[in-house]
């Protein structure tokens, strides 16, 4: 059984995958893309996990904050979870059909 990664472990995974991409592969290669995608997924997962805790201020961790791609992925994930749901207007308010009571006035 796999335990979920801690916040630190998730940030470290993102940073290590980013380092693998930039230090051990050729830019644009399949491995480079794979490492960057994995790094971004870890940063986004961390952002979503932290955003679910209302007491968490969700500041970008230092392991991610100096890499624009990772910081953006983290911030977008937090915003995606914390954005307020749009108000849904009642269906009757959007119905353009005149009703019997309104037409008799």
Q: Cβ distance 60 to 74 under 8 Å? A: yes
Q: How far apart are CA 53 and CA 39, in angstroms?
A: 22
> How many domains does the structure of the chain reveal?
1
Q: What are phi and psi of 103, to 5 degrees?
A: -75, -20
Domain membership of residue 47 (yes or no) is: yes
- 94 within a domain of the structure (yes/no): no
Establish if 59 belongs to a structural domain.
yes
pLDDT 10s per residue in the chain (105 long)? Answer: 678 889 999 999 999 999 999 999 999 999 999 999 999 999 999 999 999 998 889 999 999 999 999 999 999 999 999 887 676 555 555 656 665 555 555
Distance CA 105, CA 86 (A): 34
Q: Which domain holds residue 70?
A: 7-82
Tell me if 103 is assigned to some domain. no
Q: What is the pLDDT of residue 92?
A: 56
pLDDT at 95: 59
Q: Is residue 98 part of a domain?
A: no
pTM: 0.76
- φ/ψ of 58, rounded to 5, equals 60, 45
Instruction: Tell me, yes or no, whether 62 lies in a domain.
Output: yes
For residue 4, the model assigns a pLDDT of 86
* Continuous segment of H or E residues that includes residue 95: none
């Amino acid at each position: 059984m796999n335990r979920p990664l801690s916040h630190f472990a998730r940030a470290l995974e993102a940073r290590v995958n980013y380092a693998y991409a930039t230090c051990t592969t050729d830019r644009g290669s399949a491995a480079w893309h794979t490492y960057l995608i994995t790094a971004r997924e870890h940063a986004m997962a961390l952002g979503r996990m932290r955003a679910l805790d209302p007491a968490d201020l969700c500041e970008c961790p230092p392991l991610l904050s100096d890499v624009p791609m990772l910081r953006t992925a983290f911030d977008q994930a937090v915003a995606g979870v914390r954005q307020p749901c749009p108000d849904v207007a009642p269906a009757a308010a959007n119905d353009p059909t005149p009703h019997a009571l309104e037409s008799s006035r």
